[in-house]
Amino acid sequence: MKLDEKKEIKVKLKQIMRKATLPVIITIAVVSFLFISPLGKSIIASGSDLYQKLNVLQEIIRIVNDSYVDNPDWTKIMEGAYRGMLEEMDPHSVYIEPKQLDNLNEQFTGKFEGIGIEFDILDGYITVISPVAGAPAERAGLEVGDKISKINNESAYRIKRDDVQKKLRGPKGSEVTVTIRRQGQADFDVKIIRDEIPLYSVSAAFMIDDSTGYIFLNRFSGTTSDEVEQALRRLSGEGMKRLIFDLRNNSGGYLEQAVEIADKFIAGRQKIVYTKGRLSSANEEFYSGRTEPFEKIPLVVLINRGSASASEIVAGAVQDLDRGLIVGETSFGKGLVQRQYPLRDGSAVRVTVARYYTPSGRLIQRPYDGTIDEYYDTFSEENRDSLLAIKDSVANRPKFDTVSGRTVFGGGGITPDYSVKYDRVLVDETYKLLRHPSRVIFEYASDFVKKNRDLANDRQNFHRKFEVSDKNFDAFKKMAAEKISDLNLKQIGEDKDYLKILIKAEIARGYWGYDDYYKIVRLSDNQVTSALNSLAEARKMIYGR
């Protein structure tokens, strides 16, 4: 097309746009795209039928705009069209509305600005479940169990969760006054200066015994590598000689962070993961390179059906390079790489640009023929975690070799070296109790902590000797009956031992934080026990003995 012709088309388009209806505007946009933009001209030149499809789209828009029974909400309609288009490609290419984008970016940048509390709405009040360590709320003296009755002198009773975020979050340096209701005291005001609040990737890091460290990682965000490094060095200083690295229910995050985490354990220059896409810019190889003090530490990685993406990169590299053992359940099977592209209206799209492969060449992405619902429905199947571990199933899966010649399997997810199904079957009434919004265990433990503060003076003795007595459990059941009127107390008594563990863990968290909570809970976790039992074999993989 000649330069003069282009100018003439642009002038005519501008004249028409002043009087155009929405369908006409969309038609003009389609024509402009096809005949003026380089991408549009390349589509026509390639003989693609996209031109015809765009014509059909604008025809549908015209019909809906002219004939639909109500005035169409075009924002809602077009956002639905964007989502549907991307869902047809694969389960992980998505359209992100502007209002969702900030929350998603927050999760992966690892910080936001506010007062720094984990909270829930209990009995109509914002209740502090845990102040974030070092955050303004903790510095101002807020405690576990405190209830916020007012925000800036306005009642916060029966406030909606979304409104809590709007009122308590705000720019660094701004001020908010909250009125605190604390057991045994008159309501009092606390002035808090908002600050930057970290979102931690490491949920817990502690010593299981004198030589075994444990790290529980919940995501791969921008701060993950630094957090894991700090946890490893702290545990090493406490005597860690071997490690359980728990990636269960870690849905992933940044690929680069996964590479950095794997690099902490993998010696020399070895391939950790590689990606292959249609564009050459999407083809990359990632190698280990740094010398780390943790490259010889016996390692077991725990995974389950909720472990995906970056978690599978780490687990796959550890397994393929014979760096450690994988224990648990077959992972989710997300082996697609997305790039996020901002759009002019403040929204964004995440588009799959490549597939990723483990060092041995395994594609971890599981098949996704069918609908999005079908793809995710298998996640909740009771026996999903063991389907790929039985002989008949494994025999039909593609086989690959680790660096030492061990056989590993592709075809969807990471199959653990030792398949161990999580063994915790509870009665329905116990599930009702645990899922009830009243959070009875938290309420009971908070009350217990306030009445027994002397127990906080002997942390080691608490872990070794403290037990929730039958008298304590009866008091807990009484509170549960008051909070949940239709709860069958006799039935929850069948799970008394497990509930006592959770109560003890919640009390420990009230005294010392999440490390102590998870230490108590994990010691009754059969998958963690299996990981402990596998560490001797993991050592042999490194030292031959």
Type of residue numbered 527 = Q
How would you write 305-348 as a 3-class SS string?
CCCCCHHHHHHHHHHHCCCCEEEECCCCCCCEEEEEEECCCCCE
Cα distance between residue 350 and residue 366, in whole Å: 19
- Look up residue 521 and give its two tokens: 């809970």
Cα distance between residue 212 and residue 199, in whole Å: 26
Residues 147, 167, 264, 334: which is the catalytic one? Answer: 334
- Would you call 90 exposed, middle or buried from its count of C-beta atoms within 10 A (0-12, 13-18, 19+)? middle
- Look up residue 116 and give its two tokens: 């720094």
**Known catalytic residue: 246?**
no
Residues 309, 331, 360, 419: which is the catalytic one? Answer: 309
Phi, psi of 410 (to 5 degrees): -100, -160
Q: Which helix (DSSP H) or strand (DSSP E) does residue 349 occupy? A: strand 348-357
Nearest to 106 by CA among 189, 197, 42: 197
**Known catalytic residue: 478?**
no
Cα distance between residue 121 and residue 135, in whole Å: 20
Residues 146, 195, 246, 320: which is the catalytic one? Answer: 320
Q: How far is CA 137 from CA 117, 130, 131, 149, in A?
A: 7, 10, 6, 15
Cα distance between residue 534 and residue 24, in whole Å: 67
**Known catalytic residue: 495?**
no
Cα distance between residue 35 and residue 361, in whole Å: 43
Q: Are strands 212-217 and 242-246 parallel, antiparallel or unpaired?
A: parallel
CA 149 remoteness from chain centre: 31
Q: DSSP states of 429-475 as a string?
A: HHHHHHHSTT-HHHHHHHHHHHH-GGGGG-HHHHHHH----HHHHHH
Q: DSSP states of 104-167 as a string?
A: HHHHHHTEEEE--EEEEEETTEEEEEEEPTTSHHHHTT--TT-EEEEETTEE-TT--HHHHHHH
Which of the residues are catalytic? 309, 320, 334
